[in-house]
Structure 1
Amino acid sequence: MYQATLRTERLRLTPLSPAHLRHQLELDADAEVMRHLGGARRREQVEEALRGNLADADRAPGLGYWAGFVEDDFAGYWLLRPPGSGDQEPVPGEGELGCKILRRFWRQGLGSEGSRELLRHGFDDLGLTRIFAMSAAANTASQATLTALGLRHAREFLADAEDFPPGTDLRTTEFSMTQEEWQGVRVGG
C-alpha cells in the first residue's frame, strides 16, 4: 500500500524497505539505543523485525515505518503504525507513534521533529482520530519528548514479558492525542 515520503526542515522520512536493512542493523545493534526495547539484537532478529515491520505497514493505508535521513546520513527510524499485532485488524482511525535514533543524533531535536511530522501526517493527511505512543517507564527522555509534542499521559501497564529478556523492567506508559487536541496544538503552537 502507498506510503508517502515525508519531509521536515532537516529530515527526509523515506518509507522503510528491505534496502534499509544495513541501517536497521546499525541501529538495533547499539545496546544503548535498544536499552528500553529489550536490548541489542542479532542480525537474525533484525532481519525478522524488518520483515515484520514491512508486513505491518501493509495493514493500513498510509501507516508504516520510515527511515530518517539528515541530508544523506541515516539518523534513525520513525513509525506511525497500525495498532495491535499483525494478526489483528487495525483499529480504525488510530495509529501508534514511535522512533529510534542513532546515538550520534541524540539531543538534536530530531525525534520531536520527525514525530511532529508523523502527527501532522496522521491527523491532517490520513484523518486519524487518535494517535498514541508507548514508552518504558524508565525512559524519561522519551516521555519528555512525547509530553512536549502535546501527547497526554493515558495509562500505565506491564508490557508482555515474552518480548523482553528476563529481568527487564516491564512498566510501560502510554501517551495519546486526539484529533481535537491536535487542532488545539496547531492553533496554540
Structure 2
Amino acid sequence: METFLETDRLLLRRFRMSDACLLVQLDGDPRVMRYITGGPPEFSRQEIEADVLPAYLDYYRRSARYGFWAAIEKGSRDFLGWFHFRPAPGAEADRPELGYRIRHASWGRGYATEGSRALIAKGFAELGVERVEASTMAINAGSRRVMEKSGMRRVRAFTADWPVRIPGDEHGDVEYAITRQEWASARDLGLPPVQT
C-alpha cells in the first residue's frame, strides 16, 4: 500500500483498479450523494472502471503532489471514503481544491476534518501550496462545518451551474479557503486550525 498521508486514525493511499467495488458502494448510498446528485449514484460501475479510476491513477503519474486518495481507517483497515487535493480545472497549480466523500456510517466521527486538516498542513508545509479552497452547497451544513473546523473561512457565495437540479440548490453555493499566511499565523500562535 503506497501511503500518501498518515494521521492518528487514517491512512490516505493511492487508489487501485481493484477498488471499483468500494467506489460503487460509496456512491450507491443516497445519503452520501444527497448534495452531489440528489441521491442517485454519480457513476455506474462501468464508468468507474473505464473512466473514474483511470483518471485517479493518471494523477499519480502526472504529479506526486496532487490527486485522489482512498481513506482507510488504521485500526480496522476499513475503507471510509476518499479525499481529493488538486487544482480545479483551469486553476493555478498552487491553489488546490480540497474535497472529500465519506461513508454515511463514518459520519460524525471527525474523519473528514482529520483528513482535511492533514492535507491542508501537508500542502502548506511540504507541497508549496499558497491557498487551499473548497466549496459546497450552502445548505450542506455538515460539509461547511468540516471546512470551518479545518481552519478555512467563508470567502464567497456563488451559484454553480450544476448539470442536475438538486433540492436546495436554489440557495446557492459557498466557497471556503485558507492561505499559507493564515495557516502559518494560526500555527505560530499555537492555535488549532478551528473557527467557531
Both proteins in one fold, TM over 0.5: yes
Picking from 43, 46, 49, the partner of 2:45 is 43
TM-score (norm: length of structure 1) = 0.86
Letter in 2 for 1:46: I
Q: Distance in 2 between matches of 1:137 and 1:105?
A: 22
SS of alignment partner, residue 143 of structure 1 = helix
Picking from 68, 77, 89, the partner of 2:71 is 68
Question: 1:74-85 alignment to 2 at 5 Å?
Answer: 74-84=79-89
**Number of the residue aligned with 1:151:** 152
Q: Distance in 1 between matches of 2:61 and 2:177?
A: 23
Q: Distance in 2 between matches of 1:69 and 1:4?
A: 10
Q: Distance in 1 between matches of 2:30 and 2:59?
A: 24
- 1:183 paired to 2:184: yes
- Pairwise CA RMSD of aligned residues? 2.1
Letter in 1 for 2:26: L
Which deviates the most, 48-57 or 12-21?
48-57
| Runs (4+) off by over 4 Å | 56-60, 165-168
- The change in CA–CA distance for 1:19 and 1:168 in structure 2 (over 3 A counts) is farther
Is the Cα contact below 8 Å between 2:35 and 2:166 reproduced in 1?
no
**Number of the residue aligned with 1:32:** 31
- The total of aligned residue pairs comes to 182
SS of alignment partner, residue 150 of structure 1 = coil
- The change in CA–CA distance for 1:183 and 1:74 in structure 2 (over 3 A counts) is same
- 1:161 paired to 2:145: no
Structure 1: state its 5+ residue gaps: none
Q: Distance in 2 between matches of 1:111 and 1:78?
A: 8
SS of alignment partner, residue 161 of structure 1 = coil
Is the Cα contact below 8 Å between 2:12 and 2:69 reproduced in 1?
yes
SS of alignment partner, residue 30 of structure 2 = coil
Query: Shift of residue 18 of structure 1?
Result: 1.9
- The change in CA–CA distance for 1:55 and 1:175 in structure 2 (over 3 A counts) is same
Q: Distance in 1 between matches of 2:18 and 2:121?
A: 26
Q: Deviation digits for residues 130-156 of structure 1, max 9, x if unmatched?
A: 100011111011101111211011112
Q: Distance in 2 between matches of 1:108 and 1:100?
A: 14
**Number of the residue aligned with 1:103:** 104
Structure 2: state its 5+ residue gaps: none
TM-score (norm: length of structure 2) = 0.83
- The change in CA–CA distance for 1:55 and 1:157 in structure 2 (over 3 A counts) is farther
Q: Distance in 1 between matches of 2:169 and 2:69?
A: 28
SS of alignment partner, residue 26 of structure 1 = helix
